[in-house]
Structure 1
Amino acid sequence: MGSNFFKHRLSDLLSSAGITVNGSAPWDITVHDDRFYRRVLSEAHLGAGESYMDGWWDAPALDEFFYRILRAGVEKQLSGLPRLLNGVLGKVINLQNPSRAYTVGETHYNIGNDLYSMMLDRQMIYSCAYWKEALTLDDAQEKKLRLVCEKLMLKPGMKVLDIGCGWGGAARFAAENYGVTVTGITISSEQAKLARELCRGVPVEIKLSDYRDISGSYDRIYSIGMFEHVGHKNYRNYFQIVRNHLAADGLFLLHTIGSNRSGTNTDPWTSKYIFPNSMLPSASHLTAAAEGRLIVEDWHSFGHDYYRTLKAWHSNIEDNWAALSLAYDERFHRMWRYYLLSAAGSFRARHVQLWQLLYSKNGIEEEFRVPR
């Protein structure tokens, strides 16, 4: 088949989503290299992402482009081979076993604290913010942290575990505002190093550790934006570990991105360039994993807030690119832009979700109205 076939085929698919090749709308694309058409049709999201990184095409508003693609279901009509192979790999191999546990920390979270400090809010929270009555990213992230702490009913003197503590912002916030003692664990050496500095002087201990190496008992446990790295083969064990280390009247809050369907791995582009060995849990994944281990007390969905969060992160990157360009090249810039804005479009299209689940070990006996 000649190049014109691929061009016409992809142009027709894009047109069904209201996207015009070389059009003038912000969500339209400009193609700089005609090899783009065949690459996308044969490699789906991997081909689209790599060809964007290579400068073969552009779109003024990538998030709007992906929003329309996903709402129209265009991605379902592209080649299923890369997705199929990735799914088979995830079913056969435990991509998140202990020997692979630190891979994402080294690949993604160790990229550079300079990048994240310029992209994130003042507390360096790398997860979805809560934009209810918030106007700025700083305010929205603080509202999210307060929401987590209030749902957990934190009280002075409690021992708290933060699974996947990042740069320690949530742990520090809980310790300073609720009088608790926090142990935070991360699989990123760079995160651990900075977190220890940022948490100096408050009752927070930061450990470079995998969740499977947890020790001790805790009144409250939370995990914010870490469960995406656990993997379906480990979900039951993860919830058992949480139960084992939770006090009899303990509560556990899980904050995670969620998928509308039950899969076994993430898409090839994201796995290759952003989050290796990651995958998103579905609702049925979570209910099956927790059954017999923890009791679901609340399920809160606010995926559109992640769209706003990702847009804010992207704006911060663009605003600070002159300084960041001294350490990161233009191909990285395009990769990072593609990552943030494709994800933003995906959340706006409700192709993926953001969930906060509150669990108890033995059931909350007294009346408790979960904060919103």
Structure 2
Amino acid sequence: MPMLKKTPVGFDEASPPHRFVAELLAEADIQLGGERPWDLQLKAPGVIDSALSRGNLGFGESYMKGEWDAERLDELFYRLMRAQLGQRIKPTQLAYHSLRSRLINRQTAKRAWEVGEKHYDLGNDFYAAMLDPRMTYTCGYWKNAQTLEEAQETQEAKLDLICRKLQLKPGMRVLDIGCGWGSFMAYAAEHYGVECVGLTISKEQAEFGQRLLKRGLPVEFRLQDYRNESERFDRIASIGMFEHVGHKNYREYMSVANRCLKDDGLFLLHTIGKNLSNTVTDPWIDKYIFPNGELPTLGQIAAAAEALFVVEDVHNFGADYDRTLMAWHHNFETHWQTFKAQFGERFYRMWRYYLLMCEGAFRARELHLWQLVLSKQGVVGGYSRVS
């Protein structure tokens, strides 16, 4: 006797909205109540209506409440994004979010500190458990690595790649705009003999920086917004910070980098990017993970750099972020019991949703990781590509 398929909780197959969603999901090879790891399991009513009216904000909040699940969230989101289903659903609430993003400068000097307080100040112990020993919170470079056990090596490879692209030499002074926990500065100081100054808007990161000073490394952490920097440097690196700048400030950001870079210097910009300029920040990510964040397109970066910099090199290794996020998620799950009492179940589901949704987005090639090398006047004879 054939098994009857169980109707998902709260799903009315006769309802036009529910039938519409089921048909859309079928285009991405996703079933409601299916048996495959990426199929959507509804556990409470209202999930479909919330997703249709509020987009990923409603969908994500439903997941945080435990109202739906999927064994492989990364594969679910990969299929949703690869099929570009998000472009077929336009929740009414997104119109307000889009208008607000376009009219208001959400990345002013005052607002810039919000992401530090909400995201990066969760605690150094928490990030130490999830990241590599150097606390590198950006994409690894997986060219010569394949397994999760080699994830640490990918971060070392990425840091060395940046140093080589910047053509660092002993005695140079380097500015790191958005220095995180100082992984690049420590690596560059140890292996290339340079002095580094890092800018951060996170008190936790600045406190962590004191540990590097105690090791005798020539690094300095400055708890300040990038707009307040005026010292000149031989080289500038900005690794995973441009995502917090915002399109209304791209030109000012480039002007600050131009002001702080010596005429014969090099500037490396490492940033996550997107394909379309007319899309706004995901409202769930904006509310729960990176407040006031915004991803650029290559066109927006080039326009902001016009007449200030010559683009010497562009390198896209965004596919490596899929594996980097996989390693972070593995570490997060491994160490969760240590933080369970502190953060609770809702945070656990929120953080899984964040990591695995982003993993799916990079796998679907919705998101990218770009490294651009820029100079002020053009490198005489041309810039030699490093890989």
TM score, norm. by length of structure 2: 0.94
Task: Confirm or deny that 1:234 pairs with 2:264.
Answer: no
Q: Is the 8 A contact 2:120 2:202 kept in 1?
A: yes
Spell out the pairing of 1:1-372 with structure 2 (5 A cutoff). 4-135=15-146, 136-200=150-214, 201-263=216-278, 265-372=280-387
Map of 2:9 onto structure 1 = none
Q: How far does residue 3 in structure 1 lie from its aligned partner after superposition?
A: 8.3
Counterparts in 2 of 1:75 and 1:265: CA distance versus 1, 3 Å: closer
**Offset of residue 266 of structure 1:** 0.8
Cα RMSD, aligned residues only = 1.4
**Consecutive unaligned residues in structure 1, runs of 5 or more:** none
- Partner residue, 2:3: none
Q: In the alignment, is the contact (CA less than 8 A) between 1:260 and 1:351 conserved in 2?
A: yes
Alpha-carbon shift at residue 7 of structure 1 (Å): 2.5
Mapped partners of 2:188, 2:222: distance in 1: 17
SS, match of residue 34 in structure 1:
coil
Runs of 4+ in 1 over 4 A off after TM superposition: none
Please report how far the alpha carbon of residue 357 of structure 1 lies from its aligned counterpart in structure 2 after TM superposition: 0.3
Asked whether the equivalents of residues 161 and 386 of structure 2 are also in contact (C-alpha less than 8 Å), the reply is: yes
Contact 1:86 1:267 survives alignment (8 Å): no
CA contact (8 A) 1:29 1:59 kept: yes
How far the C-alpha of 1:80 sits from its partner, in A, is: 3.6
**For residue 311 of structure 2, what is the amino acid of its counterpart?**
V
Deviates more, 1:131-140 or 1:266-275: 131-140
Q: What does the per-residue CA deviation read over 1:334-371, in whole Å, with 9 as the maximum and x for residues that have no partner?
A: 00000000000000000111100000111111454211
Q: Is contact 2:230–2:259 with CA below 8 Å preserved after alignment?
A: no
**Count of matched residue pairs:** 372
1:75-113 alpha-carbon deviations (Å, 9 max, x no partner): 112234233221211111100011111011011101111
Conserved in 2, the CA contact under 8 Å of 1:54 and 1:331? yes
Structure 1 residue 4, shift from structure 2 partner = 3.1
Looking at structure 1, the residues matched to 159 and 346 of structure 2 have their Cα atoms a distance apart, in angstroms, of 34
CA contact (8 A) 1:229 1:279 kept: yes
Match of 1:100, SS state, is coil
SS at match of 1:326: helix
Identical aligned residues as a percent: 50
Deviation at 1:199, TM superposition (A): 4.1
CA distance in 1, matches of 2:60, 2:349: 9
Q: Secondary structure at the match of 1:329?
A: helix
**Post-superposition CA distance 1:248-278 (Å, at most 9, x none):** 1000000000110114741110000000011
Q: Is the 8 A contact 1:264 1:279 kept in 2?
A: no
SS in 1 for 2:343: coil
Normalising to structure 1: TM-score of the pair? 0.97
- Once residues 35 and 304 of structure 1 are traced to their aligned partners in structure 2, the CA distance between those partners, rounded to angstroms, is 35
Change (3 A) 1:346 1:318: same
More displaced 10-residue stretch of structure 1: 77-86 or 177-186: 77-86
- For the Cα contact (< 8 Å) 2:230–2:256, is it kept in 1? no
C-alpha contact 1:232 1:264 (8 A) present in aligned 2: no
- Once the two structures are superposed, residues 128-168 of structure 1 have per-residue CA deviations (whole angstroms, 9 ceiling, x without a partner) of 11101024111000000000000000000001000000111
Q: Distance in 1 between matches of 2:90 and 2:314?
A: 35
> Closer, same or farther in 2 for the Cα pair 1:333/1:2, shift >3 Å?
same
Displacement, 1:26? 1.0
Letter in 2 for 1:42: S
